[in-house]
Amino acid sequence: MLAVGTMLVACGKKNKQAVSKVHIPKTASIAAVIDLKQISEKAPNWRDVFKADFLQKLDVDIDSKQVAGLQQLVERVISSIDQDEKLSVFNGQVSKDRNKNHFALTFVIADVAAFEKALTTDKGITIVKNKDSKHVFLDNKTILSWKEGSGLLVGYEFKAANRNKELVSKVAELRKTTAADALDNNNQKFKALLGENHDIAIWANQQETRNFSPSVEMYSKLSPTIANLINATKYGTSYIDFLEGKIVMNGKTMFDGKATEKYQTVLGISNENVIKSLPIKDPLLLMSLSISMKDIRKIMEEENAYDKFDAEALKTLQELDLTVKDVAEMLSGDLVAAVEDLELNNLQKASAKLVLGIGLNNRKVLEKLLSKYTEMGLLQKQDNIYRPVIPLLGFDPQIIVTDDAVFLTATEEFKEAITSAKATNLNEEMLKKTKESNFMLFLRPSEILRKIPKENFSDELLEELLPKIESVIVNTLPAKKEVLEGNVTVYFKDKKTNALQQLLSLKPQKVNN
């Protein structure tokens, strides 16, 4: 949907005329608004992405008759579309009968005469004139309509009999949407988001979009908690901004605060006991997770979940004289994994300087578990350090138990740092980020790429893009009363050039089939 939408955007500045705006209806399941003026100012050549060679670089099948036809259509009309206006793409209400699902794209035409001339250079396209509008059928599931300078493209997911009649009817229906029935006038969060002037603003009715994923219902049946959380989720907003040296993406999920109040404390942050002993200052990759096992245990007890685990897992724990409740009691809910360095000689041989830390609530339970394996002759113990009697696949990990956490590492210097209880070596910026995030993933793509032999990496686009990227951070924040928020930030090495311009600087190379 968005691919088709974005392909009808562009340049060209002509004398403006008032056009009748097509509103995004409040019944839309998903909507995106793209600020063409901002995009054009940040990357004047951004329309190059619609050229055949660039699309080929993105692995778009331009040899496909349908894709090639669309690409050629965009190249013809692109100069007549108003670059100073916003473009909207949205899905209608989601139907379980996918034959009824449709999407729409609205845009402003700067030069109607040029637009029509560009269309008719394709002899297979016939313009149909109506009382106050015109349209063309691009195939038997898509219509392109315009009324003065107001462009509207509507498409269905599948072809069907009498589809052309439905398309004309749907165009008329959408053009009748009033401001009072518009999405932004019926959802204040989306209206506020549009007022923030982001490059791309997105809205999703998450009750509607559940129909895109029937598996959600299956997961809901497994746990009343999951069902309650899904039913309490109302809608989400997100945005994408291309800034100097970085791309910033933010997403918020809005839910019923009263219905989720008892679950919000699960997303607390308490990873300090693990982070403080992490022996890596500048990780190549770091992942941290922090949840409240105390609150999860409470939920599991309410749902009688302890007896619902896999029979084999229960049997194994029983043989170790433990229960699922014991394991839940053992954990604090915090986990940190970090890689300082790695080496990949080939797909069969790899080595890495890494450490895994798991927060403990009850050290005695863990020691009881490890003692069982020691008695079975699988582990050997020295003070608070355990290690396998037989290395696993050439990996010789050491299990280091402290009062607050258990660490797993095969790197001797990491073991020494943890057992000597040194203060955390993690850099201040990263430390701050982990302390404010329930979940965080940090990686340095360009450095990781350097560790991978070229013969094991064949993606041309990523091979060209990743060296430009300094780091990527993905994180989620603690749940507030009615909002769950997450961010993705991509930092480029070039801090002065806009990130969109840097993406477009990727040089398309023709793919050899």
Report pLDDT digits (tens) over 110-119.
999 999 998 8
Residue 282 has pLDDT above 70, yes or no: yes
Range 361-385 average pLDDT: 93
* φ, ψ (nearest 5 deg) of residue 319: -65, -25
Cα gap 121→75, rounded to integer Å: 12
What pLDDT is recorded for position 298?
84
What pLDDT is recorded for position 444?
95
**Residues in contact with 245: Cβ distance below 8 Å, sequence separation at least 6, in sequence order:** 491, 492, 494, 495, 496, 497, 499
Categorize the per-residue pLDDT at 213 as very low, low, confident or very high, splitting at 50, 70 and 90: low
Q: Please name the helix (run of DSSP H) or strand (run of DSSP E) that holds residue 4, with its range, or none.
A: helix 2-6
Range 295-300 average pLDDT: 84
Range 237-261 average pLDDT: 89
- CB-CB contact of 272 with 296 (8 Å): no
151: number of Cβ within 10 Å: 24
Sign for the CA dihedral angle at 11, 17, 19, 24 comes to positive
In the block, residue with structure tokens 């809005």: 254
Categorize the per-residue pLDDT at 5 as very low, low, confident or very high, splitting at 50, 70 and 90: very low
In the block, residue with structure tokens 């679950």: 263
Categorize the per-residue pLDDT at 216 as very low, low, confident or very high, splitting at 50, 70 and 90: low
Beta 246-255 vs 285-290: how paired, if at all? unpaired
Domain ranges of the chain: 30-201, 219-263+443-449+458-505, 272-420
130: number of Cβ within 10 Å: 12
What pLDDT is recorded for position 316?
86
Tokens of 70: 């669309």
Cα gap 107→21, rounded to integer Å: 9
Classify residue 61 by burial, with Cβ atoms within 10 Å: 0-12, 13-18, 19+. exposed
Cα gap 385→391, rounded to integer Å: 15
Cα gap 144→153, rounded to integer Å: 4
Tokens of 351: 């080595």
- CB-CB contact of 444 with 313 (8 Å): no
Range 333-341 average pLDDT: 92
Q: What percentage of the chain reaches a pLDDT higher than 70?
A: 85
- In CATH, what is the architecture of 219-263+443-449+458-505? 2-Layer Sandwich (3.30)
Q: For 158, which DSSP code?
A: S
Categorize the per-residue pLDDT at 42 as very low, low, confident or very high, splitting at 50, 70 and 90: very high
Lowest mean pLDDT among 48-52, 407-411, 438-442: 48-52
What pLDDT is recorded for position 354?
92
Range 462-489 average pLDDT: 89
What pLDDT is recorded for position 513?
38
432: number of Cβ within 10 Å: 11
- CB-CB contact of 31 with 203 (8 Å): yes
Cα gap 371→272, rounded to integer Å: 27
If you count them, how many residues does the chain have? Answer: 513
Distances (CA, A) of 444 to 244, 431, 469: 19, 16, 7
What pLDDT is recorded for position 455?
67
Number of alpha carbons in the 13 Å side-chain half-sphere of residue 47? 21
Categorize the per-residue pLDDT at 100 as very low, low, confident or very high, splitting at 50, 70 and 90: confident
Residue 505 has pLDDT above 50, yes or no: yes
Model-level pTM greater than 0.75? yes
Sign for the CA dihedral angle at 499, 505, 508, 509 comes to negative
